[in-house]
Homo-oligomer: A and B are copies of this chain.
Amino acid sequence: MAHGGGGRLMQQLIEEIFVKAFRNPLLEQRHDGAVFDVGGVRLAFTTDSYVVRPLFFPGGDIGTLAVNGTVNDLSMCGAKPRWLSAAFIIEEGLPIDTLRQVAASMQRAAAEADVQLVTGDTKVVDKGKGDGVFITTAGVGVISQRRTVAPSEVRPGDAVLVSGDLGRHGMAIMSVREGLKFETTIESDCANLGPMVQDLLDAGLKIHCLRDLTRGGLAAGLNEIAQASNLQIHVEESSVPVGEEVRGACEILGLDPLYVANEGRMVAFLPADETNRALDLIRAHSHGAQARRIGTVLDELPGKVTLRSSIGATRFLDLLSGEQLPRIC
A interface list, Cβ under 8 A from B? 1, 3-5, 10, 13-14, 17-18, 20-22, 24, 26-27, 33-34, 36, 38-41, 43, 45-51, 82-83, 85-90, 92, 96, 99-100, 103-104, 106-107, 110, 116-126, 128-131, 134, 136, 138, 140, 142, 326-327
Contacts and interface: CB of A to CB of B under 8 A. Distances in A.
B36 A99 contact: no
Contact of A92 (B1, B36, B50, B106): B1
Contact of A49 (B4, B48, B123): B123
A117 B83 contact: no
Nearest to A323: B124
B136 A22 contact: no
B1 A124 contact: yes
Which 4 pairs across A and B sit closest by C-beta, in order of nearness?
A4-B124, A138-B138, A34-B118, A136-B136
Contacts of A50: 123
Nearest to A39: B41
A121 B21 contact: no
Contacts of A1: 92, 124, 126
Contacts of A136: 47, 49, 87, 89, 121, 136, 138
9 contacts: A3-B124, A5-B124, A10-B124, A17-B96, A18-B88, A27-B116, A47-B138, A126-B327, A130-B130
Contacts of A125: 4, 51, 131, 134, 327
Contacts of A36: 83, 118
Given A17-B100, A99-B17, A125-B51, A140 B43 contact: yes
Contacts of A14: 120, 122
Given A47-B138, A118-B34, A22 B103 contact: yes
